[in-house]
Amino acid sequence: MTDSEHSRSAPTLNTTTPRIFIAATRQNEGKTTTSLGLLAALQQFYPRIGYIKPVGQRFVEIEEQKIDEDTVLMDQVYRLNCPLVDMSPIAVEPDFTRKYLQSSNNDVLVKKIVRAFDRVAWEKDFVLCEGSGHAGVGSVFDLSNAHVAKIMGAKVVIVSQGGIGKPIDEVYLNQAVFDREGVEIIGVILNKVTPDKLEYVTEFARRGLKRKGLELLGVLPYRQILCNPTFAAIQAETRACPLNAWQGDDNLIKNVVIGAMGAQTAIGHFKRGTLVITPGDREDIIRAAVASASEEGRCLAGMVLTEKLMPDEGVLGLIEKAPFPVLLSEDDSYEVASRVQNLIVKTRAADTEKISVIRDLIAEHVDVNKILRAL
């Protein structure tokens, strides 16, 4: 291929639309939460915003296309008017890395990202790009977050867990990878800081980051609501079947109780926001939960019946009329409780209360103007 033929086939990156790349020091540090809030904040300055997650690792299938979960969330919340397939150009399937290592096709992947970004940025005032973990994630197939940020010509905001020493140490490690790719870091956002330590962490984290040549862009206080799963998330994680038609999928789970005690003792644990996990043959606990739901503050967030033990018809009739959702799982109570305990809480489009909290946190605690000035 001649140089002229190669220039015609290679896509040209859009370099005019402003953009930032949201990275983190590790997975599940608050990257998506930050992106969700920043989109709302940035819309005050740029009404037409595009979003792209170039490399996604958790995806759903929509019209036979594998689309990253976070991309679906952003589109559902903000109606971004971008093709989903362009907002999520590369989905890392279970076999993706093996296939890549067998026949490296980096040029193809890079072109796919550039073309997707160009379409996402079309007629947009700004594009927010979200990474998939720390700076080195994706290195095994030559698309680390640092390299992807370089491909898209984006400056970076790093999100890290709250604190002083540990987050600065981890940011410093990530900084080295971004520096190697020649990617500029605008600054750092610290997440999940205990509210009573907010001023202390802000002061000393700013000093520590400044010694590394980095800006502190914001410190987000811990909010319990953002760590509480919804009942819909519990159902998705346990793959349990609904036993009634209650529409409380967005019920927030604040605490979990395993119904292994007597009904009278269990009643003391029945509170708003509680998920009860109990074998399906514990009809005494089921009856007590339904009966006490009418009392002030005692209506459960939901119940999971385990071991695929179906209650008798009389109890099923009560369940159908219960003012809380009830599921039936094949697993035992310990397995269900373990899954709930280990559940990674992801914000969903239906979590309107959480999304409102996220927007307020970013608006109040992140210096968006400082980000824009750095661009």
Does 181 share its domain with 303?
no
Q: Which two tokens stand for residue 98?
A: 């093996």
Q: Tell me how far apart the alpha carbons of residues 23 and 32 are, in angstroms, rounded to a whole number.
A: 10
The continuous run of DSSP H or E covering 4 comes out as helix 3-9
Residues 327 and 276: beta-carbon distance below 8 Å: no
* 305 beta partners: 278, 328
Does 355 share its domain with 334?
no
CATH code assigned at 319: 3.40.1390.20
The pLDDT of residue 166: 93
Environment class of 1 (CB within 10 Å of its CB; exposed 0-12, middle 13-18, buried 19+)? exposed
Owning domain of residue 119: 3-223+349-374
Does 206 share its domain with 330?
no
Q: Which two tokens stand for residue 294?
A: 């009418």
The pLDDT of residue 246: 76
CATH code assigned at 46: 3.40.50.300
Does 298 share its domain with 362?
no
The continuous run of DSSP H or E covering 326 comes out as strand 326-328
Does 132 share its domain with 58?
yes
Does 20 share its domain with 109?
yes
Q: Tell me how far apart the alpha carbons of residues 71 and 63 are, in angstroms, rounded to a whole number.
A: 15
The pLDDT of residue 4: 42
C-alpha triplet 228, 233, 234: angle, nearest 5°: 90
The pLDDT of residue 10: 56
**Strands 19-24 and 155-161: what pairing?**
parallel
Does 88 share its domain with 192?
yes
Does 126 share its domain with 103?
yes
Question: Mean pLDDT in runs of 10 for the chain (375 residues)?
Answer: 45 90 92 95 95 90 86 93 92 89 90 96 96 92 96 97 93 96 97 95 96 96 91 89 80 89 89 93 94 89 93 92 93 92 85 94 96 93
Does 214 share its domain with 360?
yes
- pLDDT tens-digit series, residues 111-155: 999 999 999 999 999 999 999 989 999 999 999 999 999 999 999
- Number of structural domains in the chain: 2
The pLDDT of residue 3: 43
Does 320 share its domain with 213?
no
Does 335 share its domain with 353?
no
